[in-house]
Amino acid sequence: MTMLPTYEEFKSQLDKEFIINYEQNKPPKMLLLKKISPIESIGGGFSGFGMTFAALLGNGYLMQKQWLMKNEALGDVSLFLVPAGPQGEFFEYNVTLTFKQ
């Protein structure tokens, strides 16, 4: 099983590109990691963090599902993206990762 990058590793990639090849005949989708926030106490012995990714509007949208994303520093990372909607000139996607402490 491949381990996900840590909070600190993701945080080092703020405003960096994550690439998704979502359709064979279309150019890859480029997302930027725009925000990362720790979740201190969820309850039940869990903690985690949330992230917001953003893609330019007008380049198609990604549906809610697990996507393989490529980042120059972190390599391949598989994350479940949840569409959050348009925000200014971007379309945002949210990710929440939780861990048993």
Report the alpha-carbon distance of residue 78 to residue 76 in Å, rounded: 7
CA 59 to CA 76: how far, in whole Å? 22
Can you tell me the distance from the alpha carbon of 70 to that of 21, in angstroms, rounded to the nearest whole number? 9
Nearest to 52 by CA among 83, 95, 99: 95
pLDDT tens profile 34-93? 999 998 777 777 789 999 999 999 877 899 999 999 999 999 999 999 999 999 999 999
Note the pTM of the prediction, 2 decimals.
0.90
Degrees, nearest 5: CA angle 43-50-63:
120
pLDDT in tens, 9-51: 999 999 999 999 887 777 788 999 999 999 877 777 778 999 9
Query: In 3-state terms, the chain is what percent helix, strand and coil (to 5)?
Result: 5, 60, 35
From the CB of residue 91, how many other CB atoms can be counted at a distance below 10 Å? 21
